[in-house]
Amino acid sequence: MLYPRVSLYALMLAAAGIPLYIHLPRFAAVNLGIGLGVIGTVLLVIRLVDLVQDPLIGWAIDRWPRAQALFATLAALGLAVGFPLLFSLPDGAKLSVLVSILILLFSAYSLGTILLYGRSATLAKHPEANELMTLAAYREGGQLAGVVLAASAPALFVAFGAGAQGYPAFGLFLGVLAIITLIVTFPIWQRTPITGQGLSLTGLGQAGALRLLALALVNSLPVAITSTLFLFFVEDRLQLPGMAGPLLILFFLSAGASVPLWARLSNRIGPKQTLMIAMPLAIAGFIGAATLSAGNLTGFALICLASGAALGADMVVLPAMFSVALTRAGLNASAAFGIWSFAGKLGLALAAFFTLPLLERNGFTPGQTNSAAALQTLNLAYAVLPCILKLGAFGMVLTLPTEVSAK
């Protein structure tokens, strides 16, 4: 039951992450009446908190390795309290209240994520490269199941009669999920922790981890932008009302189905070669999205399948590469994954900070009739800019050392 419990904890974290990164902009704009520019600024400010917080969380996990059960408990309880509070906020709620709740949620999410990834060697049956890749497949499979659950839940609650677009019921659901997950997964945090040497820039550089951190940041930007703008693109640019939820589910189902395939392929031909196969799928998806006409549901569904499969490779291969590099070098993983976590969330914050005000300046208003210029700006932000950034990430992958396998 070790790996299924890892999957469940990952599911809880992913189900928490989707509301923060995908539902939050629309919830705040439509339900709370907050401008897109303000939302983007708030998310960037919270990322500044993470700039200090995430590495400190990683340091604390490494400093007190036998407190991992306590850290896991604090993360779950933070989510259990924060989400019911967030999605029960009324229209006109004070911005300071929203920011306080978001800091609680992002802190709990960071703690759980850094703990889960930083304890890869501890949670794996054996701290070897192939076993770490297997663990990554279970972990990311759980993450993607959580994503599908969170993406579909608000619409399901609305279908069963919930009000306010299903968000209050969604918040309560996430709180209950966090409590149940904590109870079921508690045994995995009783395992004897495997720790390593303290971190240094020299050690990270010699292990090849600094290069992977830079790649993680650049590679996070395209999916960060599309995650932030997905609901707007489907509802307003493609004019497919009510289809954002099913398309999002299709996207993540494709990612989830691809995870074990990418893991096996990476163990066979090596992680670099696997990414060189997967990344062009994402690039093709961005190009296709940029050229779609309004109402083209079939075309965008095919793009969701291709780009979802590409995301599956990013999710399973890159963290596993980072974990293998740290384990081989005998370095503490939690502090390093604190930096890794911050790099990914910085990408999400930059996406919100630059794209949301850009759309607002060009006259885009969610859920309203928009001008051709405003929709063209949305098209450029959602598809063209991420394509350019993904090409940059692909170029960085080409410079990585070639390995015959992950062994």
Dihedral (CA of 199, 204, 207, 213) sign:
positive
Q: What are phi and psi of 146, to 5 degrees?
A: -65, -35
Phi/psi at 371 (nearest 5 deg)? -70, 165
Residue closest to 390 by CA, chosen among 247, 263, 241, 288: 288
d(CA 395, CA 403): 17
Q: Residue 197 pairs with which residues in a beta bridge?
A: 331
Please give the Cα distance from 105 to 346 (Å, whole number). 16
Is the overall model pTM greater than 0.75, yes or no? Answer: no
Angle subtended at Cα 202 by Cα 196 and Cα 206, rounded to the nearest 5 degrees: 80
Give pLDDT tens digits along the chain (407 positions): 888 999 999 999 988 887 776 777 777 877 788 887 788 788 778 777 877 788 888 889 888 888 999 999 999 999 999 999 998 888 878 888 888 998 999 899 989 998 998 887 788 888 777 787 788 888 888 988 888 888 778 878 888 887 777 788 989 999 999 999 999 999 999 988 776 666 666 777 776 778 888 898 899 899 889 988 888 899 889 989 888 878 888 888 898 889 889 988 988 888 899 999 999 999 999 999 999 999 999 999 999 999 999 999 988 888 888 878 887 777 766 777 777 777 777 777 777 778 888 888 888 888 777 888 999 999 999 999 999 999 999 999 999 887 533 44
Q: By three-state DSSP, how is residue 240 classified?
A: coil
pLDDT score of 398 = 92
Domain limits of the chain?
Answer: 2-398
DSSP state for residue 400 in the 8-state scheme: S
pLDDT of residue 201: 67
The dotted CATH code for 2-398 is 1.20.1250.20
pLDDT at 403: 56
State how far the alpha carbon of 159 is from the alpha carbons of 24, 86, 249, 312, in Å.
20, 21, 16, 29
d(CA 172, CA 178): 10
Cα dist. 118→73, 78, 224 in Å?
Answer: 16, 19, 22
- pLDDT value for 9: 95
Buried residues in 235-250 as b, exposed as e (16+ CB within 10 A) = bbbbebeebbbbbbbb
* The Cα angle at residue 105 between residues 69 and 151, in degrees rounded to 5: 105
Give the whole-angstrom CA distance, residue 228 versus residue 24.
Answer: 9
Partners of 331 in beta bridges: 197
- What length does the chain have? 407
pLDDT score, position 405: 39
3-state DSSP assignment of residue 127: coil
